Amino acid sequence: MGKVHVLDHPLIQHKLTYIRDKHTGTKEFRELVDEVAMLMAFEITRNLPLQEKATETPVMEATTQVLAGKKIGLIPILRAGLGMVDGMLRLIPAARVGHVGLYRDPETFKPHEYYIKLPSDIEERELIVIDPMLATGGSANDAIHSLKKRGAKQIRLMCLVAAPEGVEVIQNEHPDVDIFLAALDEKLNDHGYIIPGLGDAGDRLYGTK
């Protein structure tokens, strides 16, 4: 079963509090999501393998380290996942970015895919699926199935806030996928919203309603 990592770094938790706050306006919300994504990128990449590399410093030749192994692909789920991409790219600037467009039907909560565009070599990449919200889990589940159908082999899921219901869906459907969260909340309400949550992530990022 995939592991759930709740990233409890104090800076992440501090900023998440202001992201949750209903008084935080669009501009500040966007900036905070961007900053938390960058901090989460630092934690999520902690176990990437390194290999030795000889480097000539101005003083001598030294044995140094560089990243080894698979290259990274970031896969934001549109729309809200886009709000976390730039923060991630600041730490992983060479990552390729693929997009999966999904919206959740407000009545049934079922996701509908309307767009997908991926790097051509996803089977060789370590993919990080990005969405601020993991609620029923339907959207992330569909996105991951879609990626696997197209050859993806190594996938991690990164969300700001999750409900236990969504975590369970991903763990059952994709036991090979580790989940990285800033917070694991209490549950879903009758409208499929995470509580306490942060409201509608897409609307708060883009000022829509």
- Which residue numbers are catalytic? 104, 108, 200, 203
Read off the tokens for 206: 């883009």
- The closest residue (CB) to ligand PRP is 202
Cβ neighbour number for residue 4 with a 10 Å cutoff: 16
Site for ligand PRP in 7-66 (CB under 6 A): none
Is the Cα dihedral 170, 171, 177, 181 positive or negative? positive
Count of positions on this chain that bind ligand URA (CB under 6 A): 9
190 backbone dihedrals φ, ψ, rounded to 5°: -65, -15
Site for ligand URA in 168-197 (CB under 6 A): 192-194, 197
Q: Select 15 or 125, whichever has its Cβ closest to ligand URA.
A: 15
Residue span 152-191 as binding mask against ligand PRP, x where in contact by CB under 6 A, dash where not: --------------x-------------------------
Read off the tokens for 47: 């176990």
Question: In the complex, what is the shortest distance from the CB of residue 143 to ligand PRP, in angstroms, rounded to a whole number?
Answer: 8
Under the binding rule (CB under 6 A), the answer on residue 192 touching ligand PRP is yes
Vertex 105, ends 100 and 108: CA angle to 5°?
130
Flag whether 39 is marked binding: no
Question: In the complex, what is the shortest distance from the CB of residue 166 to ligand PRP, in angstroms, rounded to a whole number?
Answer: 5
Question: In the complex, what is the shortest distance from the CB of residue 192 to ligand URA, in angstroms, rounded to a whole number?
Answer: 6
Strands (E), the chain: 4-6, 50-56, 61-67, 71-78, 96-97, 99-104, 111-117, 125-130, 133-134, 154-162, 178-184, 187-188, 194-195
